[in-house]
Amino acid sequence: MIEITLAAILRDEEKLLPHFLKHHQELFPEIVLVDTGSKDKSVDIIKSFGLKVHFFEWQDDFAAARNYAISRATKDYILVLDIDEKIEKKDFHELQQIVSKTKKRAYWLQLINFSNDYQSLNWQPLDDKFSAYRNIASGYERYPLIRLFKNDRQTKFRGIIHEYIAIDNYQTESELLNIPILHFGWVTSELKSKSDKYFQLIRKNWEQEQTPQSALYYLHIIRDPLQRLQTAWQISKKYPQYFQFYEIMAQSAAELKQWKRAISYLSKAIKLSGETITLLAQLVNCYLEAGRYQEAIAVAEKIPENIAHPHIDLQRLKIAILQKNSGIVEQLLQRLQKYLPQKEFEFLTRLTKDIDKQS
């Protein structure tokens, strides 16, 4: 059976470290922990678990810190986690068995970002697999990432932020697995402070790399919608074939309640990428907000009925109210009750209680 090193970088994580170490220490024969400048009790906590602390001077470069951490590993493979993440025991053992058989250079795992943002079109409600975490979040977003790879001294991270593993041939050298890595950072109070802290670093990354991906990261962290819109417009001139920049411009225009502009940008994005569910749902919302109800209905009909998502169901509810269709309203309310916060659901119920009288 192959052995796996757990590698993590950290800074001022005294709140999360005890649980992280207690959970993972029994799973991994080796844990490499690299401190990048903690001022709290993180180092003392690590030592109290009998583990060695490696130190790396912070250089405003996550890839550099990650690469130093993996250079300290001695086992066959390396699994990279953050301190606000974990892998369940049963998933770890399944992962170990798969890797022992297939021995690929790298493995894509499923990053499960717990989240309460049911308006996000990437959000999905907790299923039975994650029911133990209902006290933490109402749902999650899923993203595949390379987190496990062979300790060959050649595989490295790239990117000063949002760092990633780069290998030559993903199709032959890597394998996509359905094994989850659980991430709790999106439901902690520290998320906003981390965004503030990383803003300059993300901007620096964009200025250095000048790639579409680094541009998208930069745009997503710009909070002012007008600044984001103007910046995205300038960047889109450099990458006119990327629909994502038009989508960001549309979202920014929507925040500014400039519905005509938002609709125009979404139309351009759809022309480039096709009629994806995400873009169609955003277009429906813009048409509704602009009072262009017939166009909203026409676009909404393109979204398959079997697509059940709170954001889309809220749009369907608005359309059903406009059409005074009390039967559809009742069905949608029953479905939405599973996902919406109690106060918001009660508001919707009050809003629709007179539908029968108006019909």
Q: How sure is the predictor about 174, in pLDDT bands with cuts at 50, 70 and 90?
A: very high
Mean pLDDT of 178-184: 96
Model confidence band, residue 285 (pLDDT cutoffs 50, 70, 90): very high
How far is Cα 287 from Cα 298, in angstroms, rounded to an integer?
10
What is 191-274's CATH number? 1.25.40.10
Query: For residues 115 and 185, what is the distance between their CA atoms, to the nearest angstrom?
Result: 9
Average pLDDT over residues 157-161: 86
> How many whole angstroms separate alpha carbon 328 and alpha carbon 149?
49
- Record: fold of 4-187: Spore Coat Polysaccharide Biosynthesis Protein SpsA; Chain A (3.90.550)
Say which residue the tokens 């919406």 belong to: 340
Asked whether the predicted pLDDT for residue 192 surpasses 70, the reply is: no
Cα–Cα distances (Å) from 184 to 7, 86, 99, 132, in that order, read 18, 9, 26, 13
- Say if 4-187 and 191-274 have the same CATH topology: no
User: For the whole model, what pTM was predicted?
Assistant: 0.79
Domain boundaries of the chain, sorted by first residue: 4-187, 191-274
